[in-house]
Amino acid sequence: MKTYLGKMRGQRRKRARVGWQDALWSWIGAFTGMAVICWLSSAWLSQQLLIVGSFGATSVLIYAAPESPFAQPSHVLFGSMLSAGIGVACYQLLGTSPLSMSLAVSLSVLGMQLTHTVHPPGAAAALIAVAGGASVHQLGWWYPLLPIGAGSVLMLIIAILVNNLARHRRYPNYW
């Protein structure tokens, strides 16, 4: 029991400081990515849902932690779309229920791990597919493609363009 409880203490770790230049590049990327999605949503695709809460978390990964495995393009795109599809299936089979929400998240985690495409916001996309309300439910099987797939592609394009403007950044590390 002592060993088990001891694991919960964690370990001391020296945290690397983020410089103002790196933080500024992260801000530029996050602002640009979300601005493009919001502009497209309001001006061009006003009848379609394009803004999804999981895109906020995706922004953190691809702009502030572009070296993370969770931020690499295959993870962002396929992890998110796979999870969104799992969420749609759970909603269509079980409706909006605690069981459906729990299965959507847990099955998306399982699916992303088995396909080596873990992207934490993907689990949020799965949950949104179930709990997102009428505007999400009306999309049905389109939800994994638009907004999740299209939004992910747009954000990835911007991440590739913005992250590589800085000399000290490289994105992606792999596809």
Widest Cα–Cα separation across the chain: 59
Mean pLDDT to the nearest integer, 84-113: 98
Residue 45's pLDDT band (cuts 50, 70, 90) = low
Q: Is the pLDDT of residue 147 over 70?
A: yes
Give the pLDDT confidence score for residue 46 in this predicted structure: 60
Q: Is the pLDDT of residue 47 over 70?
A: no
Mean pLDDT to the nearest integer, 11-24: 84
Amino acid (1-letter code) at residue 146: L
Give the pLDDT confidence score for residue 14 in this predicted structure: 80
Give the pLDDT confidence score for residue 48 in this predicted structure: 66
